[in-house]
Structures are given as C-alpha cells and as structure tokens.
Amino acid sequence: MPKQNIALALLTIAAISRALSADDFQPNQKELPVPPPEGAIVLLSSDTNEFLSKNGGEINWPLEDGVLTSTRGEGRSNHIVSKPHFRDADIHVEFKLPKKGSGNSGIYIHGNYELQIINSVEKEKLDQGDIGAVYGFAPALVNAGKGPDEWQVYDIRYTAPRRDESGKIVEEGTITAWLNGQKVQEGTKLGEPRSNYHPYRYNTTDYLKTIWEKQKQTGIGPVFLQDHDNAVQFRNVWVKPLDDKALEYQADK
C-alpha cells in the first residue's frame, strides 16, 4: 500500500476511534460539586489555583474558598489561562451566573473554541451566542441553562485539530459537551477559529503569542476562563487528558 494511502487509513481509524469515544461520554452531573476522577489535573479547587493572567503572571480575579470571580479588564479581555496544557482531554467546569447582568463569560478551549456561558434560561430558539453553544460554530442542541445564582456544570470532551508541518489543519477537531445533565453538543466539528475576539487575536500578549505558535506545531494548548464584564463565578475546574501529551507550560522552553 502506498505511504499516502497508509497515512489516510491511519487518520480514518483515529477519527473513528475518537467518534466512538465521544459516543461513550456520559458524565455524571447529578450532584455538585463533582469530585475529580483518577488521572485528572486539578486547575481550581479549595487548595489549588493553576491559572495565570494572559501576561503569564498572577491573576487579579478574586479567589475565596476555591471560587474565582471573573473580573473586568481592558476591553473585555482580562481572561485567565491554565498553566497545564493538553491536547485531547475531558474538561470539567462548574460556574454560577451573577444576579445582575447577562452573565456573559465562556470557556476558551485552546484559546480558539468558546463554550458559551450566558443567561439564556427563558429563550426558546437558541443561537450561537446562547448558553451551550460553541461560539461561531454551533448552537446548543437543547436549552439546558439555569438561572442566576445556581451552580451549573459543563463537561466537555475535546479532541484537538491535527495540523501538518506548515500549520494547516488536516483533520478537524471535535467537541461533545454536557450541560446540567443534558447533551448540548455532539461531535461538533472544529476547523480554523472563527472569532476575532478570542485570546490569541484580540488584546493579546507576547506570552499568548508564544503559546499559540507552539500550539500550532504541537496541538497542545491551555484552557482559558473568559472575562466579558460579568462577575461569573467558577469552581472545581479540572482536565483529564485523553493521551500522553499533557504538560506544564514553561514560557522559556
């Protein structure tokens, strides 16, 4: 068999394997907080904070009893970024909308794909700006959002896009996501990022530019929690890698 056909066959097998894995993804969201499973990397807990500012320094979001509160910054871009980086992973985030405001925030996976957080509790027809959406790619399958001042939970199975040596995507990534016990995304395909407002493009920093360049080469990157001028709270954030690619990012390496 020619090398080109072998490579294509391997890509097809890998894609089928990841699709089957996503079909089996049924996280338990009945009782919160959900304890991290074996093999998870804890990013936020009562005694752990593995987030940095987008400059690579300490964050200025208030942290109290394991709860971080999104804090407004310049141009809705005071995002925080995880120290641990990963390629394919299950991502768990618990959050609470504030009593005032829209509750707009999000989870930026690899800085490119945003799982939307916002108060959409009374909406019947959902679009790509509502809760459960992958912003710019797909609205939620159902409206699983709760109202302000209630703890909610996302569980996300993410496979990163694969790129060739030139940085071009040769295999799309996928997201399957559950929100508050309901599946809101199922194998949603992820190509090149579609928003100009994500962390690597809008009000970005030298620290993030370096991460993005390495990410294009390796497929390994961080998760961000978004600032969008709303005091959304976060707790119990963890990532469980699905391969052996996870590492703690060092800016000078």
Which pLDDT tens digit goes with each residue over 239-248? Answer: 999 999 999 9
Distance between the two ends of the chain, CA-based, in angstroms?
A: 39
As a whole number of angstroms, the distance between CA 131 and CA 120 comes to 6
As a whole number of angstroms, the distance between CA 29 and CA 125 comes to 24
CB 153 within 8 A of CB 96: no
As a whole number of angstroms, the distance between CA 230 and CA 33 comes to 22
Q: Is 155 exposed, middle or buried (0-12, 13-18, 19+ CB in 10 A)?
A: buried
Q: Model confidence over 32-89: pLDDT tens digits?
A: 999 999 999 999 999 999 999 999 999 999 999 999 999 998 889 999 999 999 999 9
Whole-number pLDDT of residue 20: 47
Q: What is the token pair recorded at 14? A: 């890998």
Whole-number pLDDT of residue 10: 43
Domains for the chain: give ranges and CATH numbers.
Answer: 37-248 (2.60.120.560)
pTM over 0.85: yes
Q: Model confidence over 16-37: pLDDT tens digits?
A: 445 545 668 999 999 999 999 9
